[in-house]
Amino acid sequence: MSFNESNKFQEMKSIIDDVNNILVELKDEGISMIIEPSNDIRVKMASIQDKHFYIKFLSLPNKKDVYPLIFEKIHMLIDYLDEKGFYTEISVKTYSANSYECAKSIEELEDDAKYIHYKLNYIILRFSHNDLNESLPNQKSVDQLERVMKISAKTDIGNRISDMNKQGANIHYIQNPIDSGIESREEYDKHNKSFRPSWNLKHLLGPFAHDKKKKKKKK
């Protein structure tokens, strides 16, 4: 299956290649990791929507001697991806009397590793776009993703896993964005064509054209 490869798609592919090159030394040290997006379909999704670009370092309890190298690579990733317009969020889980998970900066993580006698279970780096003006995908791209999803339905591993939400699991954040819906630029324009800029300065009740009444001015 091939895509009409956009500039964003090509840029994301290049970023993923660079990330893999940065982490190759950790792979040589036997550090297990999951790097997403891991194929062209997921690269396409990550290029238009956050939450699909992350790295998970696994099997860390017996790798304390490699912690300095891991932290060095995380610093390199943060700096590199910051230049590419991505913000990095770090979450960790540890083995201790009570396991916990929390968001940390890389500096906090380094200090904890020096002074607290715990073992890291895993580290997750999640990357999201810094640019708040990130453009929406065209409807053509959304339609293309939906077609790919239908074609790959029988081989998609996600369709072979039972719905854990129906079994009481608290994993509502795990969902396929194509199922939940990706808003296209055309849809946004259609739904917001009646939007009126500076509506609050005009003493209107709301930003859309159907909100015709004006606010009563206080005496």
Q: Which of 137, 58, 42 is CA-nearest to residue 92?
A: 58
Are 152 and 129 within 8 A, CB to CB?
no
Residues 153-179: pLDDT tens digits?
A: 777 766 666 666 666 655 555 566 677
Q: What is the pTM of this model?
A: 0.56
CB 34 within 8 A of CB 53: no
User: Is the peptide bond between 37 and the residue preceding it cis, with omega within 30 degrees of 0?
Assistant: yes
Q: What percent of the chain has pLDDT over 70?
A: 66
| Run of H or E residues at 126 | strand 119-129
pLDDT tens, 52-104? Answer: 899 999 888 778 888 889 999 999 999 999 888 898 998 888 766 455 566 67
SS3 state of residue 118: coil
Q: Who has greater pLDDT, 156 or 105?
A: 105
